[in-house]
Amino acid sequence: MTVIDANRMHEIEARYPEYFHRSFRQRFGGLMILIATLLYSLYAVWFFDLPKLFAEAHWERVGIYLSQWVSYDVQPEFRIEDDGSIDIRYPRFSPLGDNPHPDWLVNNPDGSITVSISGTSRTVTVSKSQTVVTAHGITVPVDVSSGAPEVVGPVPGWMTVYDDNVLADLGFAGNVSISVDRVKIRKRFIGWANFIFDTQSSFFDKPLGEVVGLIVSGPRIKPDQSNLSLAFDDIWNNSEWQHGDVWTKLFQTIVMAFLGTLLGSLAAFPLAFLAARNIMPNRLLNQILKRFFDFLRSVDMLIWALFLTRAFGPGPLAGSGAIFLTETGTLGKLYSEGLENIDNKQREGIKSTGAQTVLVHRYGIMPQIVPVIVSQTLYQWESNVRGATIIGAVGAGGIGLKLWEAMRTNANWENVAYMVILILIVVFLFDAASNALRHRLMGTKTH
């Protein structure tokens, strides 16, 4: 066992003071950060009133919206006439077409009508005197022969009684609203109705084999147009899903992102040389340009889009302009910082040969700065595809405006899902293309 005397101990302490004489920050810095984070979290909970927010949130709407993303519903209405007959009506633009005869609706010999909401476990039978709802393993009759609907027997938890109607919630399968003179049924189906052909198409409700046969070798449906061309027109001009308009708006979004990023990079590139301190010795010009870059990027792209839509009207021009202004500031700052961090030895070596300034920049600076320019520009281009979707919602055109219109109706969530999926696919493809192009231009390998 080695014994260290006092002199040796003092020598070691003098040689390694960072271990033996740690400052207050070094000893308690981690603990202080932990306490500060905890205090800030408590402040955020109080400031945003999170307990009340979570308590009053309409969480049930999440399930409703998600179910509407992946399904559609049909809403027949059964009107009980004075003579006891039952008139069936469907909403305008019903997914079943103008003259539906669904197999889940059965006319009984006694004049009543039975609707299968979900197989045989959830059914509704409508007659002139009562409506019988079968669900969750029980059958509940609702008498409609008097002045107000009245549930016969105990009221189950999934049924709500109001003054003039009774509402039965059948879960994801749908619901039933019962009043004295009419019964409204909502029956839900998984999938996207009429995604290929709408109810106005000549190919609507035909099996796949029959559609393929008509396109390949069938007689012309319209004498002046081939069946293939007619099928494409019906898909492109689908009145419910509006494929043509959606894809056109999506292309506008891509063009906005590309054009805005391209113009922003072209404007930022020469300005970055003037803003870099080691390239342009004029300090006043450096500061003016850097503050100019700060101003352009400090105003959010969404705000620029609002300004430009007021100036030029709604459309892709305002969107491209908003991206251009934002990217000029962002890329100008990134390019100038990249120039200020280059190795001046290579630049000085070219300059020592007596080369002109243009050649010094070309061979002494550009080989060092090109990887930064390529990487940052491609990243911004990919990011602006997402940004162009957001600014489209304020009138800058593109699929963002189309998406906002579908959300605002609060009834076309399947169309919202369709456009969101398209946007995700485009962002994924642009991310992959951007990474591949960046690695190829910079000479690195992808993993």
pLDDT, one tens digit per residue, over 55-99 is 888 887 787 788 888 899 899 999 988 888 889 998 887 888 877
Phi, psi dihedral angles at 190 (to 5 degrees):
-75, 140
Who wins on pLDDT, 14 or 333? 333
Query: What integer is the mean pLDDT of 440-445?
Result: 65
Enumerate the domain spans of the chain: 17-57, 74-190, 243-442
Q: Does the pLDDT of residue 444 top 70, yes or no?
A: no
DSSP bridge partners of 88 = 78
Helix (H) or strand (E) holding 171: none
Q: Give the whole-angstrom CA distance, residue 275 versus residue 325.
A: 17
Determine what percent of the chain is predicted with pLDDT higher than 70. 93
Structure token digits, residue 106: 């059965």
In this structure, what is the dihedral angle of CA atoms 286, 288, 294, 298, given to the nearest 10 degrees? 180
Query: What integer is the mean pLDDT of 181-210?
Result: 90
Q: For 373-427, write each residue's pLDDT tens digit.
A: 888 888 888 888 888 888 888 877 788 888 888 888 777 889 999 999 999 998 8
* C-beta separation of 332 from 293 below 8 A: yes
* C-beta separation of 91 from 438 below 8 A: no
Q: Does the pLDDT of residue 233 top 90, yes or no?
A: yes
Determine what percent of the chain is predicted with pLDDT higher than 90. 35
Q: For 119-175, write each residue's pLDDT tens digit.
A: 888 999 999 889 999 998 899 999 988 878 899 989 999 999 998 899 999 988 889
In terms of CATH, what superfamily is 243-442? MetI-like (1.10.3720.10)
Q: Does the pLDDT of residue 340 top 80, yes or no?
A: yes
Check residue 374 and give its pLDDT. 84
Who wins on pLDDT, 345 or 152? 152
Q: For 266-316, write each residue's pLDDT tens digit.
A: 999 999 989 988 888 888 998 999 999 999 989 889 899 988 888 888 888
Nearest one of 78, 81, 82, 80 to 90, comparing CA atoms:
78
Average pLDDT of the chain to the nearest whole number: 86
Q: Give the whole-angstrom CA distance, residue 290 versus residue 339.
A: 13
Check residue 19 and give its pLDDT. 62
Q: Give the whole-angstrom CA distance, residue 125 versus residue 36.
A: 64
Nearest one of 358, 359, 364, 357 to 339, comparing CA atoms:
364
Check residue 132 and give its pLDDT. 93
DSSP bridge partners of 151 = 142
